[in-house]
Structure 1
Amino acid sequence: MAEGLIVKAVSGFYYVYDQNEIYQCRARGLFRKKKIKPLVGDIVEYEAPNKEEGYLLQVMDRKNELTRPPAANIDQALIVFSARQPAFSTAMLDRFLVHMEALDIYPVIIVNKEDLADENLHRELVYYQETYQSAGYPFHLVSGVTETGVQKLDDYISGCVSMVTGESGVGKTTLLNLLIPSLQLETAEVSERLGRGKHTTKHLQLIPFKDGFIADTPGFSSLEFEQIDEEDLDVCFPEIRERLPSCKFRGCTHRKEPRCAVKPAVENGDIASFRYEHYVKFFEELAQRRRY
């Protein structure tokens, strides 16, 4: 019996990484009876007489679990957006950030294709960069995913399990190809008609990299809040979370309650109005979901 990490799962086979070797394993019937589905990122106990006929014996406790894509034990996410083609969206970015906060995954924001931005858009991007950095998020503007841009990420990637995520067509796969040239992953052009890229990543896979692992994930066109309740939403916005002790009422939703500490911070500019508007929109979305 040995311990390893599931780095890929395809058609009922689980590929376990252990000391620079990969073992192809199946799950015992016990997993189905207990309704346990092994995920990429799981630390498992397994036994394998050879590299192609192994069996999973146990899935160890998870620190977090993602439903889409299905993965576990992710330390951080490199969230890639583009300045244009497709256009940068703070609403979509905030959806990603809420998910990462809820799962205790450290987010690093990367906005690619800055070189395609005109002067007005560039000023907007710098404002967004300052806003997110003041909330505690690393935010990098990159003029095309190049080796120079990738060097900015070295300090984040080493020694942990990272995933590269974001909308389709923003340069995630290009980023991975620069990080690990031997991969030669397929990339696709952005559709001019739809304004978004084709999905080039078919299966989630963890790739050994710099004393850790990094994963490409299929691009998303939408994100539903499946693991979050509205009463927990405020803690997923750091600039709101830090003001919770100053609200008069415990359980304040920061919308209509008197003596709320959040609304004055929005009015005086300490909390960006667009971030607060997204909080209110997400809150109402979650509340409506529970009603139905």
Structure 2
Amino acid sequence: MPHQPFTGLILKKYSGFYYVQDEAGKIYECKLRGKVKKQVILTGDKAVITPLDEAQGILERVEPRQNELYRPRIANVNLVLIVMAYDRPEPVPMLLDRLLILTLHGGLTPVMVLNKCDLKASEKAADIMHIYKGLGIQIISTSAKQRCGLEQLLTAIKGKIAVFAGPSGTGKSTLLNNLAQNLNIKTQEVSNKIGRGKHTTRHVELHPLEGGGWIADTPGFSTLDLPEDLTSRQLGAYYPEFAPHLEDCRFQDCLHYREAECGVKEALESGQVSGLRYHNYVAILEEVMRNERCYR
């Protein structure tokens, strides 16, 4: 009796073979057939497979993608876990804002992971965390060393393809090793001199998680360049705290920059909008406007 084709998830490519998982969790080692050999096939792609036996198959075609990240090259990501540390290194608000913009502009869902909760946050870090907790983004506190918060993290990932993002030294590799079975990603201690660490993985692979979902073993957004199609008029939408004050802006297309009678700037003066977030917004807005002039 011939084996019936099925649609599975590509977990990795290795030595010319593609490893595809079916709905039951079984993994097939697959070769390519015909025209599909000319396609760029990515980890995270959904592909139609014809099994040859219980362990091998032929990859017949790739289904259309929902999205694609370029660094690393991975398809159909749903969730971006933005990892910051309570301390060593302290959270960097500008980096966090850029990661949130990249995530939201890509149509992905961000979750903030505050790792190293076993450490006492500095006063500066505590103030930063207080600001971001008011944005309506899911925040999960974890300790990779003490293995706390992992169940909540697994629940957030369930049924989704997730990638970690964030600066080195925040514990992403240790979190990955704790979440995924049989995974041993190398980590490097945080440098005393520069206060940062280094992630050493190079190849992207999806690891199935207990309870459902997959995690990529290579951090997403290894470049923080703003998207070329991000416009100055779009940027404010990625600052949700601006929304309640838009009706107080005199101009419908207000950029909350140099315009008079701006509801957002009035909210800034009254303390309803964070000065830290607003100044990050202005810096990013000016960068976007420079890009717009370059691309004209």
Per the TM superposition, whether the score is higher than 0.5 is yes
Aligned to 1:88, what secondary structure does the other structure show?
Answer: coil
Q: Which amino acid aligns with 1:3?
A: T
Specify the alignment match of 1:257 in structure 2.
Answer: 259
Q: Give the superposition deviation at 1:92.
A: 0.6
Instruction: Indicate conservation of the 8 Å contact 1:204/1:215, yes or no.
Output: yes
Q: Select between 162-171 and 211-220 the one with higher mean Cα deviation.
A: 211-220
Gaps of 5+ in 1: none
Q: Give the superposition deviation at 1:109.
A: 1.3
Specify the alignment match of 1:188 in structure 2.
Answer: 188
**1:22 paired to 2:23:** no
Specify the alignment match of 1:54 in structure 2.
Answer: 58
Instruction: Indicate conservation of the 8 Å contact 2:165/2:220, yes or no.
Output: yes
Q: Which amino acid aligns with 1:191?
A: S
Distance (whole Å) between structure 2 residues aligned to residue 267 and residue 150 of structure 1: 40
Q: Which amino acid aligns with 1:96?
A: L
Specify the alignment match of 1:95 in structure 2.
Answer: 98
Per-residue CA deviation, residues 24-52 of structure 1 (Å, 9 max, x unaligned), is 3455564576xx53322222223342544
Q: Give the superposition deviation at 1:181.
A: 4.5
Percent identical? 37
Instruction: Indicate conservation of the 8 Å contact 1:172/1:216, yes or no.
Output: no
Instruction: Indicate conservation of the 8 Å contact 2:50/2:58, yes or no.
Output: yes
Q: Give the superposition deviation at 1:22.
A: 2.0
Task: Please give the residue correspondences for 1:150-165 in structure 2 after superposition, counting only pairs within 5 Å.
Answer: 150-165=150-165
**1:175 paired to 2:175:** yes
Alignment length, in residue pairs? 286
Aligned to 1:176, what secondary structure does the other structure show?
Answer: helix
Distance 1:151 1:2, change over 3 A: closer
TM-score normalized by structure 2? 0.84
Instruction: Indicate conservation of the 8 Å contact 1:162/1:215, yes or no.
Output: yes
Distance 1:55 1:245, change over 3 A: farther
Specify the alignment match of 2:135 in structure 1.
Answer: 135
Specify the alignment match of 1:198 in structure 2.
Answer: 198
Q: Which amino acid aligns with 2:126?
A: V
Distance (whole Å) between structure 2 residues aligned to residue 244 and residue 216 of structure 1: 40
Per-residue CA deviation, residues 167-199 of structure 1 (Å, 9 max, x unaligned), is 222111111222234323322222333432222
* Superposed CA RMSD: 2.6
Aligned to 1:182, what secondary structure does the other structure show?
Answer: coil
Which of residues 269, 272, 276 in structure 1 aligns to 2:271?
269
Q: Give the superposition deviation at 1:147.
A: 1.5
Distance 1:30 1:288, change over 3 A: farther
Instruction: Indicate conservation of the 8 Å contact 2:8/2:47, yes or no.
Output: yes
Q: Select between 133-142 and 238-247 the one with higher mean Cα deviation.
A: 238-247
Distance (whole Å) between structure 1 residues aligned to residue 169 and residue 60 of structure 2: 36
Distance (whole Å) between structure 1 residues aligned to residue 143 and residue 25 of structure 2: 35
Q: Which amino acid aligns with 1:167?
A: P
Distance (whole Å) between structure 2 residues aligned to residue 133 and residue 65 of structure 1: 28
Q: Select between 82-91 and 141-150 the one with higher mean Cα deviation.
A: 141-150
TM-score normalized by structure 1? 0.85
Q: Which amino acid aligns with 1:204?
A: V
Instruction: Indicate conservation of the 8 Å contact 1:167/1:220, yes or no.
Output: no
Per-residue CA deviation, residues 43-72 of structure 1 (Å, 9 max, x unaligned), is 222334254452241322x33322222222
Q: Give the superposition deviation at 1:135.
A: 1.0
**1:2 paired to 2:6:** yes
Q: Which amino acid aligns with 1:238?
A: P
Specify the alignment match of 2:224 in structure 1.
Answer: 223
Q: Give the superposition deviation at 1:291.
A: 2.3
Aligned to 1:81, what secondary structure does the other structure show?
Answer: strand
Instruction: Indicate conservation of the 8 Å contact 2:186/2:199, yes or no.
Output: no
**1:285 paired to 2:283:** no
Q: Select between 146-155 and 168-177 the one with higher mean Cα deviation.
A: 146-155
Gaps of 5+ in 2: none
